A and B are shown apart, each in its own frame.
Chain A
Amino acid sequence: MNNMYTFDTSTLWAALPEIFLLSAIVVVLLLDLFLTKPFKQATYYLTQISLFITGVMAFNLIDQPQTIIFSGSFILDNMASVFKVFMIGSTMVAMVYTRHYLIQHALFRGEYFVLVLLSVLGMMVMVSGYSLLTLYLGLEILSLSLYTLIAIARERAGAVEAALKYFVLGAIASGLLLYGMSMIYGISGSINITDIANFAANADLASRETLILNFGLVFLVIGIAFKLGAVPFHMWVPDVYQGAPTSVTLFLSTVPKVAAVAMLVRILVDGLGAMHAYWADLFMVLAVLSIALGSVVALMQTNIKRLLAYSTISHVGFIMLGFVTGVISGYGAAVFYVFVYILMSLAAFGIVILLNKKGFEADQISDFKGLSKHSPWFALMMLVVMLSMAGVPPFIGFYAKFFILQQVISAGFVTLAVVAVVFAVISAYYYLQIIKSMYFEESDKDITIVAPMDMQLVLSINAVLILVVGIFPDFWIKLSLSLF
């Protein structure tokens, strides 16, 4: 028991990307103070370089044997490394999309980049967290940075209000999650996932003594559902997406979802996998409600950010369906869906940002009217993204939905699959509506695209990937399945 808390510096290499990123954050923060106005752009490039080096470090740790360090509270395995590389890559893409928007809307400040880097650090700790404490700390580093990031547009009443709503609901979610963690700790006597897994595997789940384990589990599921934005814990999602500056919405809607899924896997699959039958029931309800509400309520939206928020909710429902199956291939399908969702969401919000101009937020669906006349290329890109989100073959969104449903059916939940398909068809309506207004309606505004070339290029690659990966999905599917 005494040597449980020894500290061995020879194992620090497993946390190298995190350590590097933390040092880089300090450097960026300090350097930004000394940069004069004409050199402010340097902060952006420094951020990208830091992210890139961290990504390379995380990439080099792929295929290392599973290592657990810091007295069992930090794990390095393939899932952690692949998730980290993916998160860093998407953050870099998000930053490319963001820069132009920040300059146009006078939000280009050093703190913005530091906060993004900090939230990436929090997410990296989350995907590698192997004790309840590390997971909680990672989650809080992420959440606290995101609250501040939303409020960075401090003159906008909408942004401040969104920050406050996110803050209050996020704090409640953390409280519920912690309450669940305290129950799990109380019954299993440890905060390490390994010990909790051992305890849950050997416990007599039907006995009265382990009732508290079920009790804790419910709180954990609620906490995770809050963070994922699943119905009925979704109230914050549309408001925050709409109120936050679009650049923050872009970041918020993509990368943190990977971290939330990683936390879900760590706690529920690695830790409480023995109790799958208990949490799968909860997940089933959450998933069906999310898919249904996400698809139906989105029909009535006129604000594109709100619409994409509801579309996120229904995508989260599909991701949760993958975890209902309780088999490794089902979890793999869910992770594949997360990758696909991030790719699509990045492109969708990227195009929303693309239409922004100084003093003009393109956040209404009507702002897309006649886009095909002014910019046929980006109208085509938006078409690809929307069809992919609706699940039309051969785009990647189709395969993601297909694999989830395949797993759900082979696990024996045919009704569940039918319900999911019905609502997926309903949701196709609002995606098609955007396509309709892009191609068949006349614009009443001047939409010229002023975004810089690097953004246009990355955005095009991103959207083309949706098609290309859709035609050759094998690599990603194998990768997703190899993580468990």
Chain B
Amino acid sequence: MVSLSDYLILSSVIFCIGLVGIFVNRTNIITLLMCVELILAAVNTNFIAFSHFLGNEAGQIFVFFILTVAAAEVAIGLAILTLLFRVRGSIDVDVTNSLKG
């Protein structure tokens, strides 16, 4: 029997991989998008695990919405990325430094 804490540990590991990935990644912006997806996957795991063990459907409904929003978010992210490639000719993180910060 897989217990609730196993799910929570799994989701926190995924969450940390996503978060660390964003901060150590210095090469490609697509990797950043993948890391964001990992964070959302961790959130979804959390919601479903809680929902199952609480016997409450609200968490699973929440996950449907997160999935939908995540799809829209990636669509916009990739669109912006295409624009960046058009004006810069590269999608490396390093080229996005004309604004200091």
Residues 237-250 of chain A: 1 if any B CB is under 8 Å from the residue's CB, otherwise 0?
Answer: 01100110000000
B45-89 interface (Cβ within 8 A of A): 46-47, 49-50, 54, 56, 58-59, 61-62, 65-66, 69, 72-73, 76-77, 79-81, 83-84, 86-88
Report how far A164 CA is from B29 CA in the complex, Å. 9
Would B88 and A167 count as touching, CB distance under 8 A?
no
Would B65 and A165 count as touching, CB distance under 8 A?
no
Least distance between B46 CB and chain A CB atoms (Å): 4
A186 interface residue per 8 A CB criterion: yes
Known: A164-B29, A189-B54. A178 touches B43 (CB 8 A): yes
Would A155 and B87 count as touching, CB distance under 8 A?
yes
Quick one: which of B56, B66, B79, B96 contacts A165, CB cutoff 8 A? B96
Report how far A353 CA is from B50 CA in the complex, Å. 50
Would A137 and B54 count as touching, CB distance under 8 A?
no
A127-142 interface (Cβ within 8 A of B): 132-133, 136-137, 140
A158 interface residue per 8 A CB criterion: yes
Report how far A186 CA is from B48 CA in the complex, Å. 10
Would A235 and B59 count as touching, CB distance under 8 A?
no
Q: How many residues of B contact A (CB 8 A)?
A: 41
Chain A binding surface, main DSSP class? helix
Least distance between B23 CB and chain A CB atoms (Å): 9
Would A191 and B76 count as touching, CB distance under 8 A?
no
Considering residues A140, A175, A181, which has the most beta carbons from chain B within 10 angstroms of its beta carbon?
A: A175
Known: A151-B83, A164-B84. A185 touches B47 (CB 8 A): yes
Report how far A157 CA is from B98 CA in the complex, Å. 9
Residues in A neighbouring B66, C-beta threshold 8 A: 136, 178
Would B80 and A163 count as touching, CB distance under 8 A?
yes
Residues in B neighbouring A175, C-beta threshold 8 A: 18, 36, 39-40, 43
Would A162 and B99 count as touching, CB distance under 8 A?
yes
Residues in B neighbouring A171, C-beta threshold 8 A: 36, 73, 77
A148 interface residue per 8 A CB criterion: yes
Would A172 and B61 count as touching, CB distance under 8 A?
no
* A-B residue pair count with CB separations less than 8 angstroms: 117
Would B40 and A182 count as touching, CB distance under 8 A?
no
Would A179 and B42 count as touching, CB distance under 8 A?
yes
A217 interface residue per 8 A CB criterion: no
Known: A144-B76, A238-B101. A172 touches B22 (CB 8 A): yes
Report how far A190 CA is from B62 CA in the complex, Å. 11
Least distance between B48 CB and chain A CB atoms (Å): 9
Report how far A424 CA is from B61 CA in the complex, Å. 46
Would A189 and B99 count as touching, CB distance under 8 A?
no
Considering residues B54, B59, B62, B99, which has the most beta carbons from chain A within 10 angstroms of its beta carbon?
A: B99
Would A160 and B36 count as touching, CB distance under 8 A?
no
Quick one: which of B40, B47, B49, B99 contacts A239, CB cutoff 8 A? B99
Report how far A145 CA is from B71 CA in the complex, Å. 14
Quick one: which of A158, A167, A191 contacts B77, CB cutoff 8 A? A167
Residues 169-180 of chain A: 1 if any B CB is under 8 Å from the residue's CB, otherwise 0?
Answer: 001101110110
Would A242 and B29 count as touching, CB distance under 8 A?
no
Least distance between B19 CB and chain A CB atoms (Å): 8
Least distance between A4 CB and chain B CB atoms (Å): 9
B1-55 interface (Cβ within 8 A of A): 15, 18-19, 22, 29, 32, 36, 39-40, 42-43, 46-47, 49-50, 54
Which 9 residue pairs of A and B lie closest in terms of their CB atoms, listed nearest first? A175-B39, A186-B50, A182-B46, A239-B99, A178-B43, A171-B36, A157-B87, A160-B83, A239-B101
Q: Which chain B residues have a beta carbon within 8 Å of chain A's beta carbons?
A: 15, 18-19, 22, 29, 32, 36, 39-40, 42-43, 46-47, 49-50, 54, 56, 58-59, 61-62, 65-66, 69, 72-73, 76-77, 79-81, 83-84, 86-88, 96, 98-101
Q: Which chain A residues have a beta carbon within 8 Å of chain B's beta carbons?
A: 132-133, 136-137, 140, 144, 147-148, 151, 154-158, 160-165, 167-168, 171-172, 174-176, 178-179, 181-183, 185-186, 189-191, 235, 238-239, 242-243
30 A-B pairs with C-beta separation under 8 A: A132-B62, A133-B62, A144-B72, A147-B80, A154-B86, A160-B83, A160-B84, A160-B87, A163-B83, A164-B29, A164-B80, A164-B81, A165-B96, A167-B76, A167-B77, A167-B80, A168-B29, A168-B32, A168-B36, A176-B39, A178-B43, A179-B39, A182-B43, A182-B59, A185-B50, A185-B62, A186-B49, A190-B56, A191-B59, A238-B99
